[in-house]
Structure 1
Amino acid sequence: MDKRMGGKRNYLAMKTDYSEANEVISSDLREVGHAMKKLANHAIKLGAGLGFGTSFLKWVASFAAIYLLILDRTNWKTNILTSLLIPYIFLSLPSWLFNLFRGEFGKWVALIAVVLRLFFPRHFPDWLELPAALILLIVVAPSFFAVTIRGNLVGVFICLAIGCYLLQEHIRASGGFRNSFTKSKGISNSIGILLLFLYPVWALVIHFL
């Protein structure tokens, strides 16, 4: 009788321990599930934030390059090779704006520019040459450049190389690093050139994170 009672107590104790173990495991699994959901939500938010940051910096870099082109056509003109800004804008221009110029709208703009340049050269001002060259480049560029190069690290490194070259040329033309950031004529160009680094540096950081 005592053996039966002892066996029953052992069975009940084992059953209780088994139930408690199941509850602990279930609780742990629920906590893991909640943690995974939080991790997924944070990853989605981070990815969206990083994507927005890249798009925003593309806008900043493109406008900085356009700003430098405008400066080059005014009395702030420098001796730096500003034609390099054309491939920079080509590679950093935000996608929807790039696709707009690559479509029918860009073709019409390119056609008008070519007609004016060929048949009405007097009505085609010098300051329009580089913008027209940019539109033509966007319209006629093969997919290898317009899609493949623009969409990978090669394009980012080209933008970074252009920024480095323009910065060192600007410092040399200004008579030194100090003059490029102290003279009134040099500050505006220095700020514009430094803004060119935002997009490629950010893109590299995101890629290697």
Structure 2
Amino acid sequence: MLTLSLSSAYSPSFHNRHTLSLQSPPPQSGLLRLTQDTPYLRFNPPGVSVNCKEVMKRNRRGFGPVCYSAPLTPRSLQWISTVSSAVLLLARGTGVQKSFAVPLFALQAPASLISWIKGEYGIWTAFLALLVRLFFSIPGELELPFIALLLVIVAPYQVLNLRGTKEGVMLSLVIAGYLAFQHFTRAGSLRKAFDQSSVVATLAIICIVAVSCLLLI
């Protein structure tokens, strides 16, 4: 029979059995290699060990790939509370005393946002807003956000150190509970609280209370 053979570097050869064999160089770490004991490709990067046989056994038993969603982190909860507080400051259709949402914003704002406000950009933003406030009249809904910006800038470090602590979270929960009590009491009923005119404020207050409870756990 016709026999064609090459050297050890990937040489196909025809034998009497009419089979094609492929010889590869010695496997190296971090490379894709074809093994004789398994009919599938295996990739073993350095420091990573994958049990392919166990994976195949699980697949035969009916276990497919499962996707897990990452849980809510404290940082994401702080962003939810910050956005909800800002929405409550600007929302209409609620009888709550919105000034209580200003310290709540300062206590639960993420560290990156606090750093931005106390940095150069935040100081310039407050300075320009103050100039506009001196010479022009601004809508009443923007007064409290401007006060919240100034409050964070001038707040002493003893107050800002309450952020992320158990005492700060408990204080935030007390403020959120008081805002919820005011809102639902002055709305008259739970049904009226979800009317079209006040549903935005209701959802914002629910998010603030829920986040404060989750941060306390």
Same fold, judged at TM 0.5 (above): yes
Task: Show the 5 A alignment for 1:44-123.
Answer: 53-72=73-92, 77-118=93-134, 120-122=135-137
Q: Give the 3-state SS of the residue equivalent to 1:172 in structure 2.
A: helix
Which structure: greater helix fraction?
1
Whether contact under 8 Å (2:187, 2:193) holds in the other structure is yes
Aligned to 2:203, which of 191, 201, 206?
191
User: C-alpha separation between the residues in 2 aligned to 1:173 and 1:186?
Assistant: 11
Q: Counterpart of 1:111 in 2: which secondary structure? A: helix
Bigger share in strand = 2
Paired residue type of 1:111: F
* 5+ residue gaps, structure 2: 1-69
- 1:176 and 2:189 matched: yes
What is the CA-CA distance between 1:197 and the residue it aligns to?
Answer: 1.8
Letter in 1 for 2:109: L
Aligned residues of 1:90 and 1:134 also touching (Cα < 8 A)? yes
The residue that corresponds to 1:126 in the other structure is 140
Cα separation, 2, equivalents of 1:159 and 1:203: 10
Q: Which consecutive aligned stretches of 4+ in structure 1 deviate over 6 angstroms post-superposition? A: none
Q: Secondary structure at the match of 1:149?
A: coil
TM-score, L = length of structure 1: 0.65
Q: CA deviation at 1:88?
A: 0.9
Note if 1:160 corresponds to 2:180.
no
Q: Which whole-Å CA distance do the structure 1 matches of 2:87 and 2:151 have between them?
A: 19
RMSD: 1.8
2:216 counterpart letter in structure 1: L
Alpha-carbon distance between aligned partners in 2 of 1:189 and 1:141, rounded to the nearest angstrom: 27
| Unpaired stretches in structure 1, ≥5 consecutive residues | 1-48
Which amino acid in 2 is paired with 1:142? P
Distance 2:216 2:203 in 1: 21
CA distance in 2, matches of 1:53, 1:197: 16
User: Which stretch of structure 1 is more off in the superposition, 53-62 or 186-195?
Assistant: 186-195
Q: 1:177 to 1:127 in 2, by over 3 A?
A: closer
Deviation track 1:79-130 (CA, whole Å, cap 9, x = no partner) reads: 2111211111111111101110011111111112222222x033x3322211
Identity %: 29
- Judge which range, 90-99 or 124-133, deviates more: 124-133
Query: 2: distance between equivalents of 1:80 and 1:198?
Result: 18
Shift of 1:180: 2.2
The aligned length equals 148
CA distance in 2, matches of 1:110, 1:189: 26
